[in-house]
Structure formats: structure tokens, C-alpha cells
Chains A and B, each alone.
Chain A
Amino acid sequence: MGLKSIAVVALALLAGCATPPPEPGSAASKVLATGPIEDLAIGPMRMARENGFLTVNAQLSNTDTRNKTLYYRYLWLGPEGFPVADAESWKSLTLYAQQTSFLPAIAPVPQAVDFRLEINTP
């Protein structure tokens, strides 16, 4: 054995502990966090097309025992995965302790086929 083999085994174990990337198509894969998201659980998201416009609803839960203020906005993507509209304004959301809230949104243009949810927790 030796120090080298122990180091290799330790590295392999740590690599196993690293968070795997979210599965494509899952709710987590649609979230773009501008920093670490603490005490916030991203729940299921619903996508639908109503009257030609993409509509989205995302569930967000505050898992902390204190109120939490965060900022969010949606990014609307076209078929190639690039934005089809100007960036939205950031919106402020206050979640009470243990509260679950829903973030409904409508795409600004009919060409949007996908979205990303940008979240910033100060």
C-alpha cells in the first residue's frame, strides 16, 4: 500500500461525494443560480403553451426558520437554446419561514420554447 494508494482511494471517495450535474429536463437543470443557494428548495415546474405563449410555473420553498429575500427572473430561450428576448428585470421575492411559493410567468414572445430561472440570494 503506501501513501500514494491511500491518496488515490481518498480522491476517488471524495469524487463520489461531489454533487452530480442535474439531469437534463429536470427542474434543477432549469435553474441558474448566481451563487450558492442555501435553505431554498426548488420544487416541480410546469410548462405549458397557452394561446401561443409559453407559460411557466415554478415552486420554490424556504427551508429555513427565518424569512428569506431573494431575487429572480426568467430567461426565455428559443429552439437553439439562445435568448429570444431582452433580459427581464429582476424581481424581489420574500419567503416567510418554511413558506412555499409559486413563480408564474408568461414568455414575452411566441418564439420562446424553453426557459431558465435565474436566482440570486443576497
Chain B
Amino acid sequence: MYARISLLALSALLIGGCANNTSPVLGSGNISYGDPKAVELVTNEFGSTDLQMIAESMTRSLAQSGVLKGRPVVQVYDVRNKTSEYIDTREITTSIKTQLMRSGTARFASDNTDLQSQVDQLKLQNQSGLYKKSTVAKTGNMIAARYRLEGSISSIVKRSSDYKDVFYKFSLQLVDVESGLAEWMDEKEIRKTTER
């Protein structure tokens, strides 16, 4: 009887051991990859879905507006965060830039974050004496931006015993650098409500 039970236990162990090797996954199984496009409702603070919605709607509205004829050069400024939360607004502008590039409607001048590396690289190539003259990028040939893109995000938070309501408003505008005129403007409103 004891031998029969041991044999049963041994065979169960062997079968169980074999069953775990059917998928190329290493780990205990309590971690998994999620859908990056899923609607995120973990908390009602600014989240990935809000970032995606804003970037998508703003870029498509701008690309389709017809203002960006001939792929003009645009300088993107940081989005001003007027909310009380920490929001990485640079990621919003990076997403907007990426999607506009993909649509093929605009080109971008080095913005304030990239400009220092751009200047450093030009100085290095021209002044260090390390590079072959025919391959060096000459100073004085950078293309100036025709438009500048700037925006802001603000929020209104209201609380009661039953609800917390957060209303975000993102505004973006395209301004002609020479004339100072706003050629395009759009906004996106998002409401997130928590019922307690």
C-alpha cells in the first residue's frame, strides 16, 4: 500500500514537472505584460490613458487642419503644468512630436532641451580639430523655426463625501514666430470621477 502511494506521488510529481515547460516564460506567474493601450483606471490622477488621448487628439487636429503646409519647421516648448499634481509634461510634447513626425506634416527644430547638445556637437566638430574638414557640419546653417507650439494643462478638483471629481483641460496653440499670430489652437477636456 505504501509503495503504491509513493508510486502515485512520484508519477504526479513527474507529470506536474513536465507540464510547466510548455511556454517560454520564466517566473512564478504573478507578473504579466499588460496592454499599453488599455484604459487605466487605477487612480483618478493623471495617467497613461490621459497622456495618450491628449497626444492623439491634438496631433490629429493639427495635422488635418491644413496649417502645416509644406512641412514647416516647428519649435516645441514645454507644456506648462498648472495643476497641483506632478505631471511629466515633457512626455506629452514628446508624444505629440513623435506622432506629428509620423504623419509627415512637420519638422522640428532643436527645442530648449536638445539645443545644448546640438551646440556642443557643432562646437566639437568645428573647433576641436579632430574631424576631417569635408565631413564637418558647418556652423551658421541651422534652420530657424517658423512656428512655435506651446500649451498648458490645468485641473479643477472637487470633493464631497461621495465623489471626487477631477477635470483636466489641455490647451495647445501654434504661433507664427515672425508675426506672433496664433494660427491654430485646440483643447482637450477630460473628466475623471471617483465614487466612494
User: A residues engaging B (CB < 8 A)?
Assistant: 50-53, 55, 71, 73, 85, 87-92, 105-110
Contact = CB atoms under 8 A, between A and B. Distances in A.
Interface residues of B, number: 18
B133 interface: no
Given A107-B60, A108-B56, 19 more contacts: A51-B65, A51-B66, A52-B64, A53-B64, A87-B37, A88-B37, A89-B52, A89-B56, A90-B38, A92-B39, A106-B60, A106-B61, A108-B59, A108-B99, A108-B102, A109-B102, A109-B103, A110-B103, A110-B104
Interface of B is mostly: helix
Contacts of A73: 37
Given A51-B65, A106-B61, A90 B39 contact: yes
B104 A109 contact: yes
Interface of B: 37-39, 49, 52-53, 56, 59-61, 63-66, 99, 102-104
B61 to A, nearest CB: 7
Contacts of A107: 60
Contacts of A50: 64
Contacts, number: 48
Contact of A85 (B37, B38, B39, B102): B102
Per CB-CB distance, the 6 closest pairs between chain A and chain B, nearest first, are: A89-B52, A106-B60, A51-B66, A53-B64, A89-B37, A106-B64
23 contacts: A50-B64, A51-B65, A51-B66, A53-B60, A53-B63, A53-B103, A71-B39, A85-B102, A89-B49, A89-B52, A89-B53, A90-B49, A91-B53, A105-B60, A106-B60, A106-B61, A106-B63, A107-B60, A108-B63, A108-B99, A109-B103, A109-B104, A110-B103
